[in-house]
Amino acid sequence: MTDWTGTLSLDLEERKGKTVAKRVYFQGALKVMRPIYFDDSGQVCYYLLNPGGGYLDGDRYKMEISADEGSKVTLTTQSATKVYKTPKGYAYQETQIHLQKGSYLEYLPDPLIAYENAHYKQKNVVHMESGATFIYTDILTPGWSPEGKKFSYNTIQLVTEVYLNGKLGVFDHIKLMPEKQTLSGLGFMEGFTHLGSMIAVSEYTNNSLLDELYEVIQIEESSFKFGISKLAVPGFSIRILAHSTQVIERILDQCQKIISEKWNNRTPSFLRKY
Amino acid sequence: MNNNILSLFQLCDSNLPTGAFSHSFGLESYIQEDQVKDQETFFQWLKVYLHEQLIYSDGLASRLVYEALMDEDIQEIWNLDRLLTVQNLPRETREGTQMIGDRMLKLTESLYGMPILSQYRAEIKRKSSFGHPAIVFSMVAHGLGVTKPDTILYYLYSAISSQVQNAVRAIPLGQTAGQTITHNFIPELTQAVERILQLTKDDFGIVSPGIELSQMKHERVNIRIFMS
């Protein structure tokens, strides 16, 4: 394909207890920074970034990540994903992830900020074998307009598909179209402005973990609303409605810390960059 | 009116023993938070539930199943069964729907004896499929020769009327208020069918975050009269 604005592919494997890239390739407006090892766990962290600083009209990005047996990786971004106005064609990002059994991948991008009249579509497709662990979060903000008007973007659409051993196990589809929906009202954002989600798939999921996460989330004092539930495959999802990015980040960080300690025997490092 | 439509009406009856009356699909969370408390607020909730959740899941699935039956593309039906199930992230709502689908399938299989229903049952028994009322309903309607738009309309009517009955019991509302809501809701249903006929498969499973969250929250409510 030559019509991608940016492509990135990253293949990981475990070598003597350390996760390393066996192949890294990027082209155009997508880049991966050098690997970072926060501790001696062997888990690697990669920061993905968009050198252009934001997604423009008709931009198309593609990422392909694979993790071989036993490899452990954190993927994050260096700053919020900004989508500028797209008068001609929507901006699109596609991510394909392949996880072998016993691999651990957490994809924790910064919030999405869609500017006035922006149209953004994102598709994540994850193929995993049983025994692999996948954790994904996203945060949707009300966007940005010069007048400070909330929800002035055109469309934000996020599709996530997780296949476990070749069979579809999770399908999540969020499509916010402020002009066509009463976003702030009952059934949608319920008076809140920010939406956070977490999807975690792992054989280690059990009821006591969900109970623990439920209790921890409730400690957060700001005004917010959340739900947590088991998926059709071993795993769970969390949805959070709040008034700020910080509240959602705090909650997701707390949850991720507990999950990482239980599933990965490791206390995660502080990833935020500002 | 022909006998086939009358035969399908039996499935639209909220007294049909599928267990649908024990599932509020998150409505009970709103009632407990006092956000749905009377005829007006319930009508508002019902509109969002129909136009922002049902049309993209059950409604669109009903149409796609009908089309797959026309094309004799049975594999597509099993794909839709899986998609409908795994896109339903709240556990209670997902498992409740599966239970309703299963009971409806048993019942309709004995009532109508259509081969496709037995085939669906075999798929579920083999754990290749899950079971969903929108799929069972569309199979029966297609088998009875009911048109595609009518199939979708009657399915939505049956889903909505059991929610109205739930609201009458849970809020509570008077029986007359319940009938008024159903009556006033008819234009919403026809509008929903028109939208569904224009959707594409790319629109499948779009969720309304608040509705979905209320369905997840229901797992943790202390006192309940509904299973979801």
**Residue A221 CB neighbours (<10 A):** 8
- Tokens in use for A269? 């490092």
Say if residues B48 and A136 touch (Cβ distance below 8 Å): no
Distance from CA of B209 to the nearest CA of A (A): 5
pLDDT tier for residue B11 given thresholds of 50, 70 and 90: very high
Tens-place pLDDT, residues B124-182 = 999 999 999 999 999 999 999 999 999 999 999 999 999 999 999 999 999 999 999 99
For residue B14, what pLDDT band results from cuts at 50, 70 and 90?
confident
Separation CA B228–CA B218 (nearest Å): 6
**Which residues on adjacent β-strands are paired with residue A167?**
A164
Q: Does A232 touch chain B (CB under 8 A)?
A: yes
Per-residue confidence (pLDDT) for residue A274, from 0 to 100: 55
Contacts of A186 in chain B (CB under 8 A): 30, 35, 41, 44-45, 48, 210
- Please identify every stretch of chain A with a pLDDT value under 70, giving residue numbers as ranges: 1-2, 272-274
Contacts of A195 in chain B (CB under 8 A): 209
pLDDT at position A272? 64
pLDDT at A184: 84
With contacts defined as CB-CB under 8 Å, which chain A residues touch B207?
172-174
Of the candidates A140, A146, A139, A115, the residue with the CA atom closest to the CA atom of residue A53 = A115
| Mean pLDDT, range B76-85, rounded to an integer | 98
Beta strands at A104-108 and A72-77: parallel, antiparallel or unpaired: parallel
Query: Rounded to whole angstroms, what are the CA distances from A162 to A130, A207, A230, A235?
Result: 12, 21, 14, 11
Structure-block tokens of residue B158: 């049956």
ipTM over 0.85: yes
Task: Please tell me which residue, B27 or A51, carries the higher pLDDT value.
Answer: B27
Q: Is the pLDDT of residue B74 over 80?
A: yes
pLDDT at A265: 87
Contacts of A212 by beta carbon, 8 Å cutoff, 6+ apart: A258
Which pLDDT value is given to residue A266? 86
Cβ burial B104-123 (10 Å sphere, 16+ → b, else e): bbbbbbeebebebbeebbeb
Distance between CA atoms of residues A98 and A100, nearest Å? 7
Q: What is the pLDDT of residue B1?
A: 57
**Burial class for B190, CB neighbours closer than 10 Å (0-12, 13-18, 19+):** exposed
Of residues A157, A159, A89, the one with CA closest to residue A123: A159
Q: Report the range of poorest mean pLDDT among A4-8, A16-20, B19-23, B216-220.
A: B19-23
Tokens standing for B147? 């048109």
∠ CA B131-B132-B134 to the nearest 5 degrees? 150
Place of tokens 């059950």: B58
Phi-psi bin for A58: left (phi > 0), alpha (psi -120 to 50), beta? left
Quote the mean pLDDT of chain B. 96
Tell me the residue type at B111: L
Nearest CB neighbour to B210, from listed A173, A188, A233: A188
